[in-house]
Structure 1
């Protein structure tokens, strides 16, 4: 079986986790929690980094500290995992769905402005499958209308965006807040976990405060809670794994990018297959290698998925659009032509760090034959 995307554990994970077990520091107090935050902000280039129990809670926390709530609207793509949308609803706000780009699969910035109303409070670009959203024009638009930008970078750790001054920025550091996930299938994993990053010191302190139940410790060690907070702090055990995984991140990104390049080489001439592109201003971490099965290919996307499964190759279709799902049909949306099309045609191919060129040869051979 060639899996879609599985964790890679080849570093100090056992050593650091064993230290937590040996010393009994297994919960949210412990040196690795702070160390993971420190190492992560150094890598990502942000002033603040706050660990959370998962990426969903990081997004929830981001919306909360920005004061987004009932009566507010957040513009977000419908082509994403549902965890991008649910936190908007958790805080009482409403998602407004915008279409995506045909070539990069991410938010079409040119279609955002027409959806802005007096209720709009924030824009949530999602760097889906690893390719960055075109952030510079989006930030100009947000500034024009005095809107917050929350980057959902849960699928794009290590991806980069180049601004017009020629400077490269890690995604998640361009907007007001960036959020990441360390789920088991992500580039680096803690099993479950997330991270909120920001260059606003005040927002960072607020996020850390609320993520720890808004807890104030008195002189006699008693707790008081001046606000309603959340139990979002990552345990030391998971943070220890995060520190070990982060030590390998550059190696993993290189492997992912090399594998994507090899996929491109083998599939670029196959009629009816559209391979992913990388814009001049983007560096894609290729969390998942994603292609589009066009009508000219001869069989439908779902037929190819079945053929792959028969050959013990795990694939996954693009996300089903959120706006078509029962709980979300009531929310506003723009014209989502591209979203609806790509959801029918897109497929993610195996993308594990452990994937070999021999595996890719086998996968490409089946795609060409099919």
Structure 2
């Protein structure tokens, strides 16, 4: 790459709507912390978009997961089933409650948790299943919910990478006991830092609202009725989110068109894209693919970088992490390990220009 050539990034947010105006409104009115009209508006707009009764804004996606697990009453001595192929926050949120994450393999077709493997991993200590929707795909929720129903388990949807993804016309985040979302800067809808929990359960929603605000009674100030946390979203972050949700359909369509273009333009190369159920409409959060087994991924990424194209590997498996390796020392997760070792994500931001996309495609074709 020449000194004057700019690297095409894997992601950058689109902030061309009312984001600046709404943030300036927060500054002008001095409502900059966790109380303000934009928090309420963001929650109601998000709930409406997802088709759920309750959306509760929090400070990031990791605490959204922790809040959900905690408020379901899961803690020390309990087990939660979770795919080993996932971003580490899914697993950390379980461990932070004192519960034990039990790792499960994924499917080679869509890289998502295998419902049959989930059922085989259930023990008398199992209290919940965490279904992680990766890269815009949605897990087989019908099968997972059936497993959970047979064994009396909660289901938590980790939707951090799947806002806007639907299955049979229904949005993720409303397909189980509780859903969680991230609005980090590289997500389809961003608040800078932020997250949310979603549910159709009135009682669970009430408890999560209570606990996210230090356990303070919603009716009596400075009266704290249970252990709580400071997981509140700021009005400034919510203001960005409100502006983003005004454009969410536009952003999703641009990303889906980008995903279609990648698959069409690279269809003759030995790349394997995420293969989803026909009833699923992916948000194409990060367009990702598996490289051939004989390709050195790191070397391939270096060749792309030399041509001005950034990329990133998919996640390492959680069971390989030092703090969790002892939990699965006698288990193998062959599919997750293969996907983790071969997967790569390409530039996937909604404002990528035709020239930039052509540069990416040409680089991939030349370097593979």
For structure 1, which runs of at least 5 residues remain unmatched after alignment? Answer: 163-167
* Contact 1:98 1:335 (C-alpha < 8 Å) held by counterparts: no
Paired residues, number: 360
Say yes or no: does 1:134 pair with 2:163. no
Say yes or no: does 1:319 pair with 2:315. yes
* Contact 1:217 1:223 (C-alpha < 8 Å) held by counterparts: no
Separation of aligned partners in 2, 1:31 and 1:277:
41
TM-score (norm 2): 0.95
For structure 2, which runs of at least 5 residues remain unmatched after alignment? Answer: 1-6
Residues 97 and 23 of structure 1, relative CA distance in 2, 3 Å threshold: same
Say yes or no: does 1:282 pair with 2:299. no
Say yes or no: does 1:310 pair with 2:311. no
SS at match of 1:179: strand
* Contact 1:99 1:334 (C-alpha < 8 Å) held by counterparts: no
Q: CA deviation at 1:335?
A: 3.4
Q: Which residue is 2:345 aligned to?
A: 348
Q: Which residue is 1:148 aligned to?
A: 154
> In the TM superposition, what whole-angstrom CA distance separates every residue of 1:45-75 from its partner, at most 9, and x where no partner exists?
1111100000001000001110000011111
Residues 111 and 316 of structure 1, relative CA distance in 2, 3 Å threshold: same
Q: CA deviation at 1:357?
A: 3.1
Say yes or no: does 1:71 pair with 2:67. no
Q: Which of these residues, 91, 98, 102, is aligned with residue 96 of structure 1?
A: 102
Separation of aligned partners in 1, 2:366 and 2:308:
16
TM-score (norm 1): 0.95
> In the TM superposition, what whole-angstrom CA distance separates every residue of 1:219-252 from its partner, at most 9, and x where no partner exists?
7xx5111211110110111111110011111000
SS at match of 1:122: strand
Matches within 5 A, 1:1-370: 1-162=7-168, 168-216=169-217, 222-270=221-269, 272-295=270-293, 299-332=295-328, 335-370=332-367
RMSD over aligned CA atoms reads 1.3
* Contact 1:52 1:232 (C-alpha < 8 Å) held by counterparts: yes
Q: CA deviation at 1:217?
A: 6.5
Q: CA deviation at 1:158?
A: 0.3
* Contact 1:130 1:285 (C-alpha < 8 Å) held by counterparts: yes
Separation of aligned partners in 2, 1:84 and 1:126:
8
> In the TM superposition, what whole-angstrom CA distance separates every residue of 1:263-316 from its partner, at most 9, and x where no partner exists?
01111111x211233321211000000011013xx6322211010111121100
Q: Which residue is 1:165 aligned to?
A: none
Separation of aligned partners in 2, 1:342 and 1:204:
36
* Contact 1:262 1:357 (C-alpha < 8 Å) held by counterparts: no
> In the TM superposition, what whole-angstrom CA distance separates every residue of 1:194-232 from its partner, at most 9, and x where no partner exists?
00000001100110011111112777xx51112111101
Separation of aligned partners in 1, 2:286 and 2:72:
31
Stretches of 4+ moved more than 6 A in 1? none
